[in-house]
Amino acid sequence: MAALVSKFNLARLRSFCCLYPMFNLKSPRELICLVVTILALMSQSLADDQEFIEDFLKREYSLAKPYRGLGFSSSSQWDLMGTAMVTPDHVRLTPDLQSRQGAVWSRIPFFLRDWELKIHFKIHGVGKKNLNGDGLAFWLTKERMQNGPVFGNMNQFTGLGIFVDTYPNADKTHDRTFPYVSMMLGNGTLAYDHDRDGRPNELGGCSAMARNSIHDTFLLVRYSRNRLTLMVDVDGKQEWKDCADVTGVRIPLGYFFGASSATGDLSDNHDLISMKLYQLTVERTPEEEEEEEEVTIPRVDDMDQFQVEVEEEGMSGVHFFFTLLFSVMGLGVLAVVGLVVYNRWKENRRKRFY
Protein backbone atom coordinates (compact mmCIF):
# COMPACT_ATOMS: atom_id res chain seq x y z
CA MET A 1 0.00 0.00 0.00
CA ALA A 2 2.88 2.37 0.87
CA ALA A 3 4.47 1.54 -2.44
CA LEU A 4 1.20 2.26 -4.20
CA VAL A 5 0.79 5.60 -2.46
CA SER A 6 4.37 6.61 -3.26
CA LYS A 7 3.96 5.48 -6.85
CA PHE A 8 0.86 7.58 -7.17
CA ASN A 9 2.67 10.66 -5.90
CA LEU A 10 5.67 9.95 -8.08
CA ALA A 11 3.34 9.74 -11.06
CA ARG A 12 1.85 13.07 -10.08
CA LEU A 13 5.31 14.63 -9.87
CA ARG A 14 6.39 13.09 -13.16
CA SER A 15 3.38 14.38 -15.02
CA PHE A 16 4.14 17.77 -13.53
CA CYS A 17 7.74 17.59 -14.75
CA CYS A 18 6.55 16.78 -18.26
CA LEU A 19 4.42 19.87 -18.16
CA TYR A 20 7.31 21.93 -16.85
CA PRO A 21 8.93 22.83 -20.23
CA MET A 22 5.53 24.07 -21.38
CA PHE A 23 5.64 26.75 -18.73
CA ASN A 24 7.20 29.88 -19.88
CA LEU A 25 8.53 31.38 -16.70
CA LYS A 26 8.80 35.06 -17.27
CA SER A 27 9.00 36.42 -13.79
CA PRO A 28 10.48 35.45 -10.43
CA ARG A 29 6.88 35.35 -9.15
CA GLU A 30 6.07 32.48 -11.51
CA LEU A 31 9.23 30.65 -10.45
CA ILE A 32 8.24 30.98 -6.79
CA CYS A 33 4.78 29.71 -7.68
CA LEU A 34 6.35 26.66 -9.36
CA VAL A 35 8.60 25.90 -6.37
CA VAL A 36 5.66 26.25 -3.98
CA THR A 37 3.61 23.84 -6.11
CA ILE A 38 6.41 21.25 -6.09
CA LEU A 39 6.86 21.60 -2.33
CA ALA A 40 3.12 21.22 -1.81
CA LEU A 41 3.13 18.03 -3.89
CA MET A 42 6.07 16.64 -1.93
CA SER A 43 4.53 17.43 1.44
CA GLN A 44 1.33 15.72 0.27
CA SER A 45 3.41 12.65 -0.52
CA LEU A 46 4.98 12.68 2.95
CA ALA A 47 1.59 13.13 4.57
CA ASP A 48 0.22 10.13 2.65
CA ASP A 49 3.15 7.98 3.74
CA GLN A 50 2.65 9.16 7.29
CA GLU A 51 -0.99 8.12 7.10
CA PHE A 52 0.02 4.68 5.89
CA ILE A 53 2.41 4.24 8.80
CA GLU A 54 -0.18 5.47 11.31
CA ASP A 55 -2.55 2.74 10.07
CA PHE A 56 -0.25 0.13 11.48
CA LEU A 57 0.66 1.98 14.62
CA LYS A 58 -0.71 0.06 17.56
CA ARG A 59 -1.71 2.75 20.01
CA GLU A 60 -2.41 0.37 22.84
CA TYR A 61 1.26 -0.66 22.86
CA SER A 62 2.65 2.79 22.09
CA LEU A 63 3.64 5.60 24.35
CA ALA A 64 3.74 9.09 22.88
CA LYS A 65 2.87 12.70 23.56
CA PRO A 66 0.66 13.89 25.18
CA TYR A 67 1.10 10.73 27.28
CA ARG A 68 -2.54 9.97 27.91
CA GLY A 69 -3.26 6.62 29.51
CA LEU A 70 -0.12 6.75 31.56
CA GLY A 71 -0.14 6.75 35.33
CA PHE A 72 -2.00 5.44 38.30
CA SER A 73 -5.63 5.52 37.16
CA SER A 74 -7.45 2.26 36.50
CA SER A 75 -7.94 3.10 32.81
CA SER A 76 -4.20 3.62 32.26
CA GLN A 77 -2.36 1.44 29.77
CA TRP A 78 1.04 2.14 31.31
CA ASP A 79 2.18 2.04 34.92
CA LEU A 80 4.83 4.32 36.34
CA MET A 81 7.34 3.14 38.88
CA GLY A 82 10.00 4.67 41.14
CA THR A 83 11.23 8.10 40.07
CA ALA A 84 9.49 8.02 36.66
CA MET A 85 7.67 11.30 36.03
CA VAL A 86 5.54 12.55 33.16
CA THR A 87 6.18 16.05 31.76
CA PRO A 88 4.64 17.61 28.61
CA ASP A 89 7.74 16.64 26.57
CA HIS A 90 8.92 13.33 27.93
CA VAL A 91 8.69 10.66 30.56
CA ARG A 92 11.70 11.22 32.77
CA LEU A 93 12.72 7.82 34.14
CA THR A 94 15.48 9.21 36.34
CA PRO A 95 16.67 12.74 37.04
CA ASP A 96 20.39 13.62 37.00
CA LEU A 97 20.74 12.59 40.64
CA GLN A 98 22.47 9.66 42.38
CA SER A 99 20.84 6.31 43.21
CA ARG A 100 17.50 6.67 41.42
CA GLN A 101 15.42 4.03 39.65
CA GLY A 102 12.44 4.61 37.44
CA ALA A 103 10.41 2.61 34.97
CA VAL A 104 7.30 2.56 32.87
CA TRP A 105 5.49 -0.72 32.07
CA SER A 106 2.68 -1.60 29.73
CA ARG A 107 -0.31 -3.25 31.37
CA ILE A 108 -1.42 -5.04 28.22
CA PRO A 109 0.16 -8.39 27.29
CA PHE A 110 1.55 -8.31 23.76
CA PHE A 111 0.39 -10.84 21.18
CA LEU A 112 1.73 -9.72 17.78
CA ARG A 113 4.17 -11.97 15.94
CA ASP A 114 5.77 -9.46 13.57
CA TRP A 115 6.45 -5.95 14.74
CA GLU A 116 8.70 -2.94 14.82
CA LEU A 117 9.35 -0.74 17.83
CA LYS A 118 10.67 2.78 17.28
CA ILE A 119 12.09 4.35 20.41
CA HIS A 120 12.86 8.06 20.77
CA PHE A 121 14.94 8.80 23.86
CA LYS A 122 17.28 11.39 25.31
CA ILE A 123 20.14 10.90 27.76
CA HIS A 124 21.74 14.06 29.07
CA GLY A 125 23.48 15.36 32.16
CA VAL A 126 26.17 17.62 33.58
CA GLY A 127 28.71 14.84 34.26
CA LYS A 128 31.79 14.63 32.01
CA LYS A 129 32.08 11.72 29.57
CA ASN A 130 32.39 8.39 31.39
CA LEU A 131 31.52 10.13 34.65
CA ASN A 132 27.84 9.55 34.10
CA GLY A 133 25.53 6.54 34.30
CA ASP A 134 24.11 4.04 34.16
CA GLY A 135 21.88 4.04 31.11
CA LEU A 136 18.52 2.97 29.81
CA ALA A 137 16.87 -0.36 29.06
CA PHE A 138 13.86 -1.38 27.00
CA TRP A 139 12.02 -4.60 27.67
CA LEU A 140 9.63 -7.17 26.28
CA THR A 141 9.43 -9.59 29.19
CA LYS A 142 7.23 -12.00 31.06
CA GLU A 143 7.84 -10.07 34.28
CA ARG A 144 6.87 -6.45 34.87
CA MET A 145 7.10 -3.81 37.60
CA GLN A 146 10.15 -5.30 39.33
CA ASN A 147 13.02 -3.43 40.94
CA GLY A 148 16.54 -4.65 40.42
CA PRO A 149 20.12 -4.23 39.34
CA VAL A 150 19.68 -4.31 35.54
CA PHE A 151 19.09 -0.64 34.70
CA GLY A 152 16.31 -0.50 37.27
CA ASN A 153 14.80 -3.91 36.45
CA MET A 154 15.23 -7.41 37.88
CA ASN A 155 18.01 -9.77 36.79
CA GLN A 156 17.32 -13.28 35.43
CA PHE A 157 14.49 -11.75 33.45
CA THR A 158 12.52 -13.77 30.88
CA GLY A 159 12.41 -12.14 27.46
CA LEU A 160 14.12 -9.41 25.51
CA GLY A 161 16.29 -6.65 26.96
CA ILE A 162 17.75 -3.78 24.90
CA PHE A 163 20.35 -1.73 26.73
CA VAL A 164 21.80 1.72 26.17
CA ASP A 165 24.75 1.40 28.53
CA THR A 166 26.43 4.75 29.16
CA TYR A 167 29.03 3.72 31.71
CA PRO A 168 31.97 1.32 31.12
CA ASN A 169 31.99 -0.86 34.26
CA ALA A 170 34.62 -3.21 32.86
CA ASP A 171 36.90 -0.24 32.31
CA LYS A 172 40.05 -2.29 31.73
CA THR A 173 38.70 -3.75 28.50
CA HIS A 174 39.01 -0.90 26.06
CA ASP A 175 37.32 -2.94 23.37
CA ARG A 176 34.35 -0.66 22.87
CA THR A 177 33.31 2.97 23.08
CA PHE A 178 30.43 3.99 25.31
CA PRO A 179 27.47 4.57 25.13
CA TYR A 180 27.07 1.00 23.90
CA VAL A 181 23.76 -0.36 22.68
CA SER A 182 23.20 -4.11 22.99
CA MET A 183 20.54 -6.77 23.23
CA MET A 184 20.10 -9.92 25.27
CA LEU A 185 17.49 -12.67 25.45
CA GLY A 186 16.88 -13.86 29.00
CA ASN A 187 15.29 -17.22 29.82
CA GLY A 188 14.78 -16.83 33.55
CA THR A 189 18.17 -18.32 34.49
CA LEU A 190 20.66 -16.34 32.41
CA ALA A 191 22.03 -13.26 34.16
CA TYR A 192 22.98 -9.85 32.84
CA ASP A 193 26.54 -9.31 34.09
CA HIS A 194 26.59 -5.65 35.05
CA ASP A 195 30.28 -5.64 36.04
CA ARG A 196 31.16 -6.74 32.52
CA ASP A 197 28.60 -4.52 30.80
CA GLY A 198 26.62 -7.58 29.74
CA ARG A 199 29.36 -8.98 27.46
CA PRO A 200 28.95 -12.71 28.38
CA ASN A 201 25.33 -12.99 27.24
CA GLU A 202 24.85 -10.29 24.66
CA LEU A 203 23.36 -11.16 21.29
CA GLY A 204 25.02 -8.23 19.56
CA GLY A 205 25.48 -4.51 19.81
CA CYS A 206 27.24 -1.35 18.70
CA SER A 207 28.57 1.96 19.97
CA ALA A 208 26.20 4.90 19.58
CA MET A 209 26.98 8.43 20.64
CA ALA A 210 23.59 8.91 22.19
CA ARG A 211 24.44 11.01 25.25
CA ASN A 212 24.34 14.82 25.37
CA SER A 213 23.67 14.70 21.65
CA ILE A 214 22.44 17.76 19.78
CA HIS A 215 20.44 15.41 17.55
CA ASP A 216 17.34 13.39 18.31
CA THR A 217 18.33 9.85 19.21
CA PHE A 218 16.36 6.77 18.11
CA LEU A 219 16.46 2.99 18.30
CA LEU A 220 14.59 0.61 16.06
CA VAL A 221 13.86 -2.97 17.08
CA ARG A 222 12.37 -5.20 14.41
CA TYR A 223 11.15 -8.75 15.03
CA SER A 224 9.82 -10.69 12.10
CA ARG A 225 9.97 -14.37 11.13
CA ASN A 226 12.07 -14.96 14.26
CA ARG A 227 14.70 -12.52 13.09
CA LEU A 228 15.62 -9.81 15.56
CA THR A 229 17.21 -6.64 14.21
CA LEU A 230 18.45 -3.62 16.11
CA MET A 231 19.21 -0.30 14.43
CA VAL A 232 20.25 3.11 15.68
CA ASP A 233 19.85 6.67 14.45
CA VAL A 234 21.86 9.06 16.61
CA ASP A 235 23.73 11.24 14.08
CA GLY A 236 20.83 13.39 12.95
CA LYS A 237 21.07 11.93 9.43
CA GLN A 238 17.59 10.39 9.52
CA GLU A 239 18.96 7.02 8.52
CA TRP A 240 19.10 3.73 10.36
CA LYS A 241 22.51 2.21 11.05
CA ASP A 242 22.68 -1.57 11.58
CA CYS A 243 23.60 -2.49 15.12
CA ALA A 244 22.72 -6.16 15.66
CA ASP A 245 20.95 -8.84 13.66
CA VAL A 246 20.17 -12.36 14.91
CA THR A 247 18.04 -15.09 13.35
CA GLY A 248 16.29 -18.00 15.05
CA VAL A 249 15.15 -15.89 17.97
CA ARG A 250 12.05 -17.26 19.70
CA ILE A 251 10.14 -14.85 21.89
CA PRO A 252 6.93 -16.21 23.44
CA LEU A 253 3.71 -14.19 23.12
CA GLY A 254 1.94 -12.51 26.03
CA TYR A 255 4.90 -10.51 27.33
CA PHE A 256 4.99 -6.85 28.41
CA PHE A 257 6.78 -3.81 27.04
CA GLY A 258 8.65 -1.59 29.44
CA ALA A 259 11.45 0.93 29.80
CA SER A 260 13.61 1.40 32.84
CA SER A 261 16.64 3.28 34.04
CA ALA A 262 18.90 3.59 37.04
CA THR A 263 21.58 5.90 38.36
CA GLY A 264 24.21 4.96 40.93
CA ASP A 265 27.16 7.00 42.13
CA LEU A 266 27.03 8.56 38.67
CA SER A 267 23.89 9.93 37.09
CA ASP A 268 22.09 11.38 34.06
CA ASN A 269 18.62 12.45 33.03
CA HIS A 270 17.11 9.45 31.24
CA ASP A 271 14.14 10.61 29.19
CA LEU A 272 11.78 8.52 27.12
CA ILE A 273 10.10 10.63 24.46
CA SER A 274 8.18 7.92 22.66
CA MET A 275 7.89 4.19 22.06
CA LYS A 276 5.86 3.47 18.93
CA LEU A 277 4.85 -0.05 18.08
CA TYR A 278 4.00 -0.90 14.47
CA GLN A 279 2.48 -4.13 13.30
CA LEU A 280 4.25 -5.66 10.29
CA THR A 281 2.21 -7.49 7.70
CA VAL A 282 3.86 -10.81 6.97
CA GLU A 283 2.26 -13.36 4.68
CA ARG A 284 2.70 -16.95 5.79
CA THR A 285 1.89 -20.08 3.82
CA PRO A 286 -0.18 -22.77 5.64
CA GLU A 287 3.02 -24.87 5.83
CA GLU A 288 4.87 -21.99 7.48
CA GLU A 289 1.98 -21.55 9.90
CA GLU A 290 2.27 -25.22 10.80
CA GLU A 291 6.04 -25.05 11.23
CA GLU A 292 5.77 -22.03 13.49
CA GLU A 293 6.00 -23.64 16.88
CA GLU A 294 4.71 -21.96 19.96
CA VAL A 295 7.49 -21.47 22.50
CA THR A 296 7.07 -21.10 26.23
CA ILE A 297 10.65 -20.15 27.06
CA PRO A 298 12.68 -17.63 25.02
CA ARG A 299 15.56 -19.14 23.11
CA VAL A 300 17.90 -18.66 20.18
CA ASP A 301 18.26 -21.60 17.80
CA ASP A 302 21.83 -22.90 17.44
CA MET A 303 23.04 -20.98 20.50
CA ASP A 304 23.40 -23.41 23.43
CA GLN A 305 23.85 -20.60 25.90
CA PHE A 306 20.29 -19.46 25.25
CA GLN A 307 18.65 -22.88 25.62
CA VAL A 308 17.12 -24.26 28.78
CA GLU A 309 15.74 -27.70 29.50
CA VAL A 310 11.97 -27.61 29.40
CA GLU A 311 11.25 -29.52 32.59
CA GLU A 312 7.51 -29.14 32.79
CA GLU A 313 7.01 -31.14 29.62
CA GLY A 314 9.08 -34.16 30.65
CA MET A 315 11.36 -35.60 33.29
CA SER A 316 14.65 -33.97 34.04
CA GLY A 317 17.79 -36.12 34.02
CA VAL A 318 17.97 -36.43 37.82
CA HIS A 319 14.27 -37.21 38.11
CA PHE A 320 14.59 -39.94 35.46
CA PHE A 321 17.65 -41.49 37.17
CA PHE A 322 15.94 -41.82 40.56
CA THR A 323 12.72 -43.15 39.05
CA LEU A 324 14.74 -45.83 37.25
CA LEU A 325 16.80 -46.63 40.36
CA PHE A 326 13.75 -47.08 42.60
CA SER A 327 11.96 -49.12 39.95
CA VAL A 328 14.93 -51.51 39.69
CA MET A 329 15.20 -51.74 43.48
CA GLY A 330 11.47 -52.38 43.79
CA LEU A 331 11.63 -55.13 41.17
CA GLY A 332 14.62 -56.65 43.01
CA VAL A 333 12.72 -56.75 46.32
CA LEU A 334 9.67 -58.30 44.60
CA ALA A 335 11.88 -60.94 42.98
CA VAL A 336 13.50 -61.85 46.32
CA VAL A 337 10.13 -62.04 48.11
CA GLY A 338 8.72 -64.09 45.24
CA LEU A 339 11.68 -66.50 45.40
CA VAL A 340 11.35 -66.96 49.16
CA VAL A 341 7.60 -67.60 48.90
CA TYR A 342 8.16 -70.06 46.05
CA ASN A 343 10.85 -71.97 47.97
CA ARG A 344 8.60 -72.21 51.05
CA TRP A 345 5.72 -73.47 48.94
CA LYS A 346 7.98 -76.05 47.24
CA GLU A 347 9.30 -77.23 50.62
CA ASN A 348 5.78 -77.57 52.05
CA ARG A 349 4.72 -79.57 48.99
CA ARG A 350 7.74 -81.90 49.32
CA LYS A 351 6.97 -82.44 53.04
CA ARG A 352 3.39 -83.41 52.19
CA PHE A 353 4.65 -86.14 49.78
CA TYR A 354 6.83 -87.81 52.43
Sign of CA dihedral 90, 182, 185, 308: negative
Region of 44-52, 123-131, 169-177, 311-319 interacting with Ca ion (CB under 5 A): 169-177
Select the residue interacting with Ca ion from 79, 165, 233, 268 (CB under 5 A): 165
CB closer to Ca ion, 63 vs 219: 219
CB closer to Ca ion, 167 vs 223: 167
CB closer to Ca ion, 80 vs 93: 93
CB closer to Ca ion, 99 vs 343: 99
Phi, psi of 148 (to 5 degrees): 175, -175
How many CB atoms sit inside 10 A of residue 186's CB? 25
Residue ranges in 77-106 that form contacts with Ca ion under rule CB under 5 A:
none
CB closer to Ca ion, 116 vs 165: 165
How do the residues of the chain divide into helix, strand and coil, expressed in percent and rounded to 5?
30, 30, 40
Helix, strand counts (H, E) of the chain: 4, 16
- Burial classification of residue 350, based on how many CB atoms lie within 10 Å of its CB (0-12 exposed, 13-18 middle, 19 or more buried): exposed
In the complex, minimum distance from the CB of residue 130 to Ca ion, in angstroms, rounded to a whole number = 10
Region of 114-122, 147-155, 159-167, 233-241 interacting with Ca ion (CB under 5 A): 159-167
CB closer to Ca ion, 152 vs 229: 152
Distance from the first to the final alpha carbon of the chain: 102
In the complex, minimum distance from the CB of residue 83 to Ca ion, in angstroms, rounded to a whole number = 19
* Binding-site size, Ca ion (CB under 5 A): 4
Stated as kind and residue range, the H or E segment containing 257 is strand 256-262
In the complex, minimum distance from the CB of residue 321 to Ca ion, in angstroms, rounded to a whole number = 42
Select the residue interacting with Ca ion from 167, 192, 218, 256 (CB under 5 A): 167
**Which residues are within 8 A (CB) of 106 and not within 5 positions of it... i.e. 6 or more apart?**
61, 63, 77, 78, 144, 256, 257, 258
For residue 230, give the nearest of 242, 218, 248 by alpha carbon. Answer: 242
Residue ranges in 186-245 that form contacts with Ca ion under rule CB under 5 A:
197
Binding site for Ca ion (CB under 5 A): 165, 167, 169, 197
